[in-house]
Amino acid sequence: MDIERKLEVLEKKIQKLIALYKDYKEQVDTLKSENNSLKAEIENKITELRNHQNKEKISKIAMSIGADVQKSTELKLMINEHIREIDKCIAYLNQ
């Protein structure tokens, strides 16, 4: 009888452990899902921040260029000159 009682106690302990395991596994799954959601949200926020920073830089450049028409014209001339130089280099490489 003593052995049967020990087996019953052991069986109850095993059942409790199984129940605890299932509870913890469910908690882990929930936390993993939440973690993945938060990671995705962080990535979205980082992308939004980068887009905002790029828009801000473009806005500053546009303001500085638009503020002075003469500088804008000079900038266009410099860009055209660089394009011509690049075209010459391409033509030279194609020979």
Q: 59: which 2 tokens?
A: 């806005």
Q: 24: which 2 tokens?
A: 């913890």
Q: 63: which 2 tokens?
A: 């303001």
Residue type (1 letter), 86: I
Alpha helix segments (H runs only) across 1-95: 2-67, 69-94
Whether the CB-CB separation of 80 and 90 falls below 8 Å is answered with: no
- The tens-digit pLDDT sequence of the chain (95 residues) is 699 999 999 999 999 999 999 999 999 999 999 999 999 999 888 888 888 877 777 776 666 666 566 667 777 788 888 888 888 888 877 77
Domain residue limits, the chain: 1-68
Q: Which residue has the tokens 């503020």?
A: 67
